[in-house]
A and B are shown apart, each in its own frame.
Chain A
Amino acid sequence: MTMRTLALAGTMALMGSASYAACAFENETEVKMLSAGFEAWKSVADAMSECGNVQAELDQEFRTKQPSAFAANPSLYHVGGVSNGTITPLLNDGTIRPLDDLVEKYGQNLAPNQLIRMNGQVMAIAMMVNTQHLMYRSDIFEELGLEVPTSYDEMLETAAKIREAGAVDYPIGATMMSGWNVAQEFVNMFQGHGGQFLGDDGMPTINTDAGVQALETMQALTEYMDPEFTISDSTYVQQQFQQGKIAMANLWASRGGAMDNEEESQVVGLVDAAAAPRAMEGGSPATTLWWDGIVIAQNITDEEADAAFRVVMEGMDTEMVQANNDDAIWLIAGYEPNRLAMGAIATATASPPPPSYPSTSEMGLLHTAFGNEIPAFLTGDRGAEETLTAIEEAYVTSAKEAGILD
């Protein structure tokens, strides 16, 4: 009985690995991947699996697992899916390898802007860009004769008009959930107001005019939002849109596809995207640019790295993009930007352009300090100045503990 089960299992495994179809080569080496779990990664992972012997783990908790999994020797995964935020620990610990020779060997189809370079060396291959930008209900804007806002002042005026007309429950949605999300909103707004996070001596320079203005803009926005904004993450805002409860939000481009998903959205075709609003006159759009892409582990053999890279190239090819065009703002050749991609493209090509989210240890610590301290301001428990002081103190404490400040 046991023998028969085993034999059956063996056959199944063989069949599994023989099911490569649209892959240019038959992969013989085992390749394991750990990445985030959103739609774009599912498409890439599926395309990679067509080569056989690929195991992809798509896990939204990847960021806590990845650093230690890649530090193991041999590494527990060959391929990692990262963004400019989550590549930092892998770079710092030296657990990912330079990809220059692999790019030369197999990367003929890569566009130059897909190569993420650190001091000239290619350390990652980007597949898509992501950014928070303005999404709005075109039907409501048309009905009320509203212009698409290009700054936060205009956005607040527009919100007041939408509220007056009573078109939706709440004019504005925003990812202001306590922790990472609200911190990201502050990062957008602070940079949008021309703020610099750290001074030349490495000390935080958050308690400045830019900081106060950023907090005040966020507070002004909350007036037009669902009062339960402290639990409002990207999925929450996405659902608010889908259920027709909000009229505009500065939301992630990667959420655009969900607006036109007929299975869950009541506003198919009614949501348009525009560049992220500016926070001040002549500034860049108040947002940050992100990329998602892959890295290859250091602690694996060169043969494994070779196979892993080839499989990745198959997963990130034109064929995959054509089949999954609307999943992301792809950087891969063959991508046709759709209606909802226009916002992200307008944001990224704005002048001056928004900065990339910085991949540094300091930024990680600052982000945590923002996420922990800002909710007390938004719930009205603490003033702006006190909150900014608390952020600076929290940063100095954790930076000293991490050895970044003396």
Chain B
Amino acid sequence: MKFRTFAAFVGPSVFMMIVFIALPLIFVFLQSFQVTQPIREMVEVETCTPGFLTQTCTVEVKSQPVLDENGNVQTETRWVGFESYANVLQMGRVWDAISSGAIAQIGNIDFWKALRFTLTFTLLTLPLVIGLGLAIALAVNNAARSIRGQVIFISLLPFIITPVIGALSIRWLFYGDGIVTAWLEMLFNTDISVAANGWAVEFLMMFYRVWHVAPFAFVIFYAGLQTVNQDTLESAIIDGASRWERLRYVIIPHLMPLIVFIALIHLMDAYRAFEEVVGFSSQAQRITLQWLTYDFLQPDDAGNRSISRASASAMLTMIGIVVILMPLLRKTWRDHRGGH
């Protein structure tokens, strides 16, 4: 292809990538080393607010931003180095916990609490998604041709449902007097409070993710299964290979690039888990790194938001994703080079 043609095809996409991904990333990177604050002054304000029938007035000294002559808030931006990172990581409290021997207390510090859960979540759901996806793909591939369409449609449903709605529907099955909880209570004749138990909530969040993402793995694997070399399979049968041996030595090696692909996508997605926290209202029990960033960005009633800490937290999340992808990327790169 001529370079000009190539450039014409790729150009728009490169432009979009720069505007919507590269530039924001650079801004977030810079912001994580900066703090922007309004210039504040302490003022004494008399505030009169209603009681019922009467009014109460209180005088209090409070800090207010200074407005310039156009009525805009004056701000100043300072470079603060790694201060925001330090504020997110809270290493001081981590060392305190370690030196006082209360290692479990690290789990109460937001970032480390989120990291612990995010890693468990990502690494435990990965094999389940791949395993379940492969199992469905094999089952559908071996199903009678006449019902295959219906089976594919039903298997894909969880993937089609909007993520938060999917999470909510599972929440409603289990939380409070949800149907499943009510059944379990009848069966075992006890009181079950799913949302009161951190580990139960954690399990539900993972269950939801596997339920939601396995169909994606299934579609990819099912497509891959159509390209398995039938001659190799037949010769394996003639050689007396069992069903399991055929899977282990013919089909899985053939699907390996797809398994790596699914693993890459899943690791990236699961490490950025967010909707589970919202759907299951798990903030008290379990939070994810992405939710932590969101929480820093949410303004409180007084309009304060921690943009610097949110930027630092976002950069840390990105670094985390790169680290977690490293082994797979290295493997792919080695295989790729070895192939030549």
Contact = CB atoms under 8 A, between A and B. Distances in A.
B245 to A, nearest CB: 49
Contacts of B64: 91-92, 361
Contacts of B57: 117
A43 interface: no
Contacts of B39: 403
A231 B39 CA distance: 38
Nearest to B198: A379
A181 B38 CA distance: 28
Interface in B141-155: none
Interface string A244-282: 000000000000000000000000000000000000000
Contact of B71 (A291, A298, A401): A298
7 contacts: A67-B303, A88-B303, A118-B45, A230-B281, A230-B284, A349-B51, A401-B308
Contacts of B60: 358, 360
Chain A's interface size range is: 35 or more
A179 B194 CA distance: 19
A356 B55 CA distance: 11
- Top 8 A-B pairs, shortest CB-CB distance: A364-B302, A89-B303, A403-B37, A230-B284, A227-B196, A375-B284, A178-B284, A364-B300
Interface string A86-98: 1011011110000
Given A67-B303, A94-B71, A368-B300, A344 B52 contact: yes
A88 B195 contact: no
B73 A116 contact: no
Interface in A369-398: 372, 375-376, 378-379, 381-382, 386, 390, 393, 397-398
Contacts of B52: 129, 329, 331, 344-345, 348-349
Nearest to A291: B50
Interface stretch (B20-28, B103-111, B127-135, B324-332): B103-111
B285 interface: yes
Q: Is the interface of B mostly helix, strand, loop or mixed?
A: mixed
A226 interface: yes
Given A118-B45, A129-B51, A379-B284, A93 B302 contact: no
Interface residues of B, number: 57
Interface in A102-156: 112-120, 126, 129
Given A375-B284, A403-B38, A126 B49 contact: yes
Nearest to B76: A403
B4 interface: no
A402 B304 contact: yes
Given A178-B281, A364-B301, A228 B48 contact: no
Contacts of A345: 52
B232 interface: no
A112 B108 contact: no
B56 interface: yes
Contact of B65 (A93, A117, A358): A93
Contacts of B196: 227-230
B119 to A, nearest CB: 19
B229 interface: no
A92 B302 contact: yes
B299 A64 contact: yes
A202 B40 CA distance: 14
Contact of B110 (A64, A126, A372): A372
A249 to B, nearest CB: 16
Interface of A: 63-64, 67, 84-86, 88-89, 91-94, 112-120, 126, 129, 177-179, 182, 202, 226-231, 289, 291, 298, 329, 331, 344-345, 348-349, 353, 355-356, 358-365, 367-368, 372, 375-376, 378-379, 381-382, 386, 390, 393, 397-398, 401-404
Interface in B60-118: 60, 62-65, 67, 71, 73, 84, 87, 90, 93, 105, 107-108, 110
Nearest to B43: A119
A227 B284 CA distance: 13
A182 B283 CA distance: 12
Contacts of B235: none
A379 B285 contact: yes
Contacts of A93: 65, 67, 73, 303
Given A89-B303, A360-B62, A401-B37, 17 more contacts: A92-B73, A113-B55, A116-B49, A118-B45, A119-B46, A228-B196, A231-B195, A289-B56, A291-B49, A358-B62, A360-B60, A364-B302, A372-B110, A376-B108, A378-B284, A379-B198, A403-B35
A42 B62 CA distance: 33
Interface in B292-333: 295, 298-304, 306, 308-309
Contacts of B63: 202, 360-362, 404
Contact of A226 (B193, B285, B295): B193
B47 interface: yes
A289 B51 contact: yes
